[in-house]
Amino acid sequence: MQTFDLEAEGLRALNSALHAQSEQTNQTVWDIVNPKGSHAIAVGLDAPIEVNVKGSTGYYCAGMNKQATVHVHGSAGPGVAENMMSGTVVIEGDASQYAGATGNGGTLVIKGNASSRCGISMKGIDIVVHGSVGHMSAFMAQSGNLVVCGDAGDALGDSIYEARLFVRGSVKSLGADCIEKEMRPEHLELLADLLERGGCDAKPEEFKRYGSARTLYNFNIDNAY
């Protein structure tokens, strides 16, 4: 195990060391101590390594992640796991705005609550939130899955494409073109897998599914102003 003191050695040295890792590395586990809310921790990783951040982080932690597992033992600032491609990111606390934004793949697990725009423009990522999400979550979500074990704020799934949204609690309001959909056996099976991967003991039958009504796919003159 490699232990890296971020306060003493600095962010540039940390990310340089992590970027130097490859498929054949024997430095597979890293503990980052004294993060103290620093921004851009463990961004752009592309190796099957495990990074444990012992504290809370600032902006864009684990952004553009590939292959790596990043575990934040605290809360995360805006843009955590932004544009991640693969791998796993776990946040033990809460996440600020636009968690998992534009994510193309991989799994993001938030064990607390997520703020506004969670999963905005998601493109294949799976996001599991143990708590609640704020307004405009999954705005323009194109593909992937957002699981919310708590409640969802205003305008959930506004202008959604083909992503699947599963919410156990209440939804304050649905955004444009987002509707409740039937929960079929294949969705229950999918959700069971997502909940297991996210370490959540909720039952799939407790959730409702939301998705696109597909009325915005083509131009309609009645929608023009």
Q: pLDDT tens across 27-73, in order?
A: 899 999 999 999 999 999 999 999 999 999 999 999 999 999 999 99
pLDDT tens-place string over residues 119-175: 999 999 999 999 999 999 999 999 999 999 999 999 999 999 999 999 999 999 999
Q: What is the mean pLDDT of the chain?
A: 95
Instruction: Give residue 118's pLDDT.
Output: 98
Instruction: Give residue 215's pLDDT.
Output: 87
If we measure between CA atoms, which residue out of 61, 54, 53, 52 comes closest to residue 81? 61
Any idea what the CATH number is for the domain that residue 31 is in?
A: 2.160.20.60
If we measure between CA atoms, which residue out of 178, 181, 93, 78 comes closest to residue 131? 93
Task: Output the pTM of the full model.
Answer: 0.94
In a domain, 160, yes or no: yes
pLDDT tens-place string over residues 70-129: 999 999 999 999 999 999 999 999 999 999 999 999 999 999 999 999 999 999 999 999
Residue tagged 């040295």 (tokens)? 13
Provide the domain count of the chain: 1
Query: What is the span of the domain harbouring residue 194?
Result: 2-214
In a domain, 223, yes or no: no
In a domain, 81, yes or no: yes
The three-state secondary structure class of 185 is helix
In a domain, 219, yes or no: no
In a domain, 21, yes or no: yes
Q: Which residues touch 49 (CB under 8 Å, ≥6 apart)?
A: 18, 21, 25, 27, 28, 29, 30, 67, 68, 69
Q: CA 125 to CA 100: how far, in whole Å?
A: 8
Q: CA 79 to CA 89: how far, in whole Å?
A: 12
In a domain, 33, yes or no: yes
DSSP secondary structure of 114-177 = B-TTTTTT-EEEEEEESS-B-TTTTTT--EEEEEESS-B-TTBTTT--S-EEEESS-BS-B-TT
In a domain, 222, yes or no: no
In a domain, 221, yes or no: no
